Amino acid sequence: KTLESRTVDGLAKYIKEGHAKRIVVMTGAGISTSAGIPDFRSPNTGLYANLARLNLPYAEAVFDISFFRENPTPFYTLAHELYPGKYRPTVTHSFIRLLHEKGLLLKLFTQNIDCLEREAGVPDESIIEAHGSFARQSCIDCKSPYPQEELKKQIEAKTIPRCHKSSCHGLVKPEIVFFGEQLPSAFFDNIDVPTEADLCIVLGTSLQVQPFASLPGACKSGVPRVLINMERVGGLGSRSDDVLLLGDCDAGVRKLAKAIGWEDELEDLWAQ
Ligand code: OAD
């Protein structure tokens, strides 16, 4: 079954008629900007454009493991601002929850470390946090886990957490994947999941970082891939069943929910 038209209405019809029962969702920082968390690469508002005050050799150094070993302060300065708990999920997060409630969510692959998908009620087992999260932290040398509350206190106090083992005293880091580190095994264990999907929805990502950026390409040909994003990215739009909904993702999911007849359910979930 293919789409009747590459529009919101064509897509809504495809979903309503039951052709999308295994939806794979792929997200990035753009789904959290309306929550107040900056993304990385947007020209004026993105984190990488606003890191001058941290005196970095280059913007991405803040998430680079070798740089962190030399100088953990820039990362912890940023962590102080970004630490989860201060932000509320967006209507886009609630849309993903709604897909789960409808029994249609096969898997959510997220690059985000803000934990807002969980907070919106998407269950843990449906989420692949491809770039890790702030949910756990450990020593970068001996790998010993470090208590969450303790990390939180140190971040609030603007001090740098160190491994509790006196023989180690290594730097402690939230288990966020830095440049130069492996992605979690859960990512590789689920890397073939997109091949089982009957619909792919990509939201709020520039698809600039591998291997995540290759996930949409793993969907079978003939499976519609929808991009809901400010800009066109990652070659989406190149296949005959790709649908581009360019613009704000909250507006995009609301439009789609309305066309399916899920408008009230979506707003109710978001208001919870
Ligand atoms: P980027 O900042 O690279 O891309 C965000 C995308 O979302 C851009 O295409 C924006 O145009 C778009 N966007 C922003 N606000 C939006 C909105 N309200 N509605 C729709 N689209 C919007 O963020 P990611 O793709 O997530 O990695 O970045 C990927 C990885 O690079 C991150 O996980 C992070 C970073 O370095 C690590 O830290 C390891």
Confirm whether 41 is domain-assigned. Answer: no
Choice among 100, 131, 164, 169 that is catalytic: 131
* Domain count for the chain: 2
Task: Note whether 79 and 196 are same-domain residues.
Answer: no
- Which one of 31, 32, 34, 39 would you pick to mutate in the ligand 1 pocket, going by the greatest count of ligand atoms within 8 A of its CB? 39
Q: Could you tell me the distance, in angstroms and rounded to a whole number, from the CA of residue 206 to the centre of ligand 1?
A: 5
Percent of the chain with pLDDT over 90: 91
Helices 91-101 and 263-271 pack at an angle, to 10 degrees, of: 110
Q: Which of 176, 208, 233 marks a domain boundary?
A: 176
149 in a domain, yes or no? yes
Query: For all residues of the chain together, what is the average pLDDT?
Result: 95
Q: Residues 266, 209: one domain?
A: yes
Within 8 A by CB and 6+ apart from 123, the residues are 100
Q: Identity (one letter) of the amino acid at 66?
A: S
Q: Cβ neighbours of residue 121 under 8 Å, at least 6 residues apart?
A: 94, 97, 100, 269, 272
CATH code of 123's domain? 3.40.50.1220
Q: What tens digit of pLDDT does each residue of 44-70 get?
A: 999 998 888 888 999 999 999 999 999
Atom of ligand 1 nearest to the CA of 63: 38
The count of residues in the chain is: 272
- Identify whether residues 106 and 140 lie together within a single domain: no
Give the tens place of pLDDT for each residue, 98-137: 999 999 999 999 999 999 999 999 999 999 999 999 889 9
Residues 145 and 242 in one domain: no
Using one digit for the tens of pLDDT, what is the confidence trace for 72-83?
Answer: 999 999 999 888
Last residue of a domain, one of 176, 200, 235: 176
Same domain for 210 and 250:
yes
- 90 in ligand 1 pocket by Cβ < 6 Å? no
Give yes or no: residues 170 and 259 share one domain: no
What is the three-class DSSP state of 138?
strand
Asked, for residue 78, whether it belongs to a domain, the answer is: yes
Q: Assess if residue 3 is contained within a domain.
A: no
pLDDT score, position 210: 96
Kindly state whether residues 168 and 263 are assigned to the same domain: no
Cβ of residue 39 lying under 6 Å from some atom of ligand 1: yes
In a domain, 12, yes or no: yes
Same-domain check for residues 140 and 222: no
> 110 with 238, same domain?
yes
Contact 110, 116 (CB under 8 A): no
CATH number at residue 171: 3.30.1600.10
End position of a domain, from candidates 176, 205, 237: 176
Q: What tokens were used for 39? A: 């993304």
Are 66 and 24 members of one domain? no
Q: Confidence class of residue 166 from pLDDT cuts 50, 70 and 90? A: confident
Q: Half-sphere exposure of 210 toward its Cβ, with a 13 Å CA cutoff?
A: 2
113 and 71 belong to one structural domain: no
Query: Which ligand 1 atom is the nearest neighbour of the CA of 41?
Result: 2
User: What is this model's ipTM?
Assistant: 0.98
Containing structural domain, residue 236: 8-34+90-131+185-271
Burial call 189-207: b when 16+ CB within 10 Å, e when fewer: ebbebbeebbbbbbbbbbb
- pLDDT over 90 (residue 85): no
Active site residue 131: yes
Residue 200 scores a pLDDT above 90: yes
pLDDT at site 234 = 96
Report if residue 1 sits inside a domain.
no
Same domain for 206 and 252, yes or no, is yes
